[in-house]
Structure formats: C-alpha cells, structure tokens
Amino acid sequence: QSALTQPPSASGSPGQSVTISCTGTSTDVDDYKYVSWYQQHPGKAPKLILYEVSKRPSGVPDRFSGSKSGDTASLTVSGLQPDDEADYYCSSYGGINRKLFGGGTRLTVL
Amino acid sequence: DVQLVESGGGLTKPGGSLKLSCAASGFKFGDYEMNWVRQAPGKGLEWISYISATDNRYYADSVKGRFIISRDNARNSLSLQMSSLRVEDTAVYFCAREGTMSTFDSWGQGTLVTVSS
C-alpha cells in the first residue's frame, strides 16, 4: 500500500484534458508545498514534469499543470497527445526521513 | 548535460549482499543531495535512501539496518551497499539527484537487482 493514493488508471481522447489526483494526509501533501509529479514510459526512468505543486522544469510543455487543495494534489494534462500515454507518479515531502510516492496512474490515450 | 549511470545490479540469493554504484557527471556532484529509489517489477516507485551534501543519511524503514548509502565526491560517485537481501528487495534501483526539497530532478536508467534462490 503506497503512502499517497492515486487512481490506478485514467484515460482521454487526443485533444482532451485529464486530471489525476494524489491524496495524502495532514503530515505530507497538506503540510508542505513540495509535491512533484513524474512521467514514466515503459522501460524508462521517471522524468520530472512538475515540482513544488505547479512549477514546470525547463522543456516541459505548459499542457502539464498542477494544483493542490488541502491533502489532495492534482495533475492536469491538457490537449492530450499520444506520447502522453505513460505512468504518472506523484511524490510529496513528509518531513525528515519521509519521501513519499503515490502508487502511480496509468494514463491511456484512447 | 546531467548524467547518472547505475551499475552493480545482478542476481543474488536471499541473505546475500550487493553493492550498487552511480556515476555522476555534468554537474557539481558534491553540491547536491542524492537518493536511491527502487521499483519492483510491475509496481510503483519507492524511496529507500537519501544522503545530503554533508553526509547526513536517511533510510526507509524497509531497508534500515540492511542498506548503507555513501558518496565519494572526489570520484563523483554514489553507492548503496545492500546486505541481508530479501526476495522482496527485487527491483530496479535508480539513483536520483535531488533539486528542491524532495524533488528528484534527474534520474539514472536504473540497474536490476534480483534476489532469488
């Protein structure tokens, strides 16, 4: 059982928007602004796509956006493209010695 | 460009030991906190260990007392000494650079550790 809760799957058609949730607790997601999101294609290493809830690293398109409300963070992928099909993981700082991941969400582009 | 290259994975028996290495390049290694994250086959990501630039070390409960993280800033190298290995330690092990607090901003390609009798 993962520390952060994500839906196991999500889907959308090309051009549509999809939102993936990530629920933690009052001692991690709700308590800190340090939520990040990672994209992982099969057989590849994870890639950082959002950090500090909503900041994008250089090179990540603005189709990827993030938000947080209380103990739940969200990743929204707008204008879905075939290459967005991947596993997505959220992560949160939970205090010293606590770096938490969600169980992952498989995004399917229909 | 930032590059992290893991090595040292392989097949070992329960109770055995293995040492993983991560060679870093393209950035000032000594200035960064580093982590090990693993992924069991078909499963999600699990953080297992952290080392600060000043050698503070933390571990997930699942590996505490069995794994030791270390770094050699002169060689731009991160290591993970794993002992008393269990079947459930079977996973791909990634080294990951930490940017801002708990943000893993660069990852290696991973090295597979298989623990099986």
DSSP codes, A29-75: TTT-S-EEEEEE-TTS--EEEEBTTTB--TT--TTEEEEEETTEEEE
Pairing of strands B57-59, B104-107: unpaired
- pLDDT tier at A2 (50, 70, 90 boundaries)? low
- pLDDT tier at B102 (50, 70, 90 boundaries)? confident
Q: Tell me the percentage of chain B whose pLDDT exceeds 70.
A: 100
pLDDT at residue B84 in the model: 98
Q: Is A52 on the interface with B (CB under 8 A)?
A: yes
Whether residues B94 and A45 touch (CB distance < 8 A) is answered with: yes
Q: What is the DSSP letter of A102?
A: B
Residue of A nearest to B50 (CA): A97
pLDDT tens digits along A64-101:
999 999 999 999 999 999 999 999 999 999 888 889 99
Whether residues A99 and B102 touch (CB distance < 8 A) is answered with: yes
B60 to chain A, minimum CA–CA distance in Å?
7
CA distance linking residue A59 with residue A69, whole number of Å:
26
Residue of A nearest to B58 (CA): A97
Show which of residues 61-90 on chain B sit within 8 Å of chain A, judged by CB atoms.
none
pLDDT at residue A58 in the model: 94
Q: Work out how many CB contacts closer than 8 A connect A with B.
A: 63
Residue of B nearest to A51 (CA): B103
pLDDT tens digits along B19-66:
999 999 999 999 999 999 999 999 999 999 999 999 999 999 999 999
CA distance linking residue B49 with residue B73, whole number of Å:
17
- pLDDT tier at B111 (50, 70, 90 boundaries)? very high
Mean pLDDT, rounded, for A9-33: 94
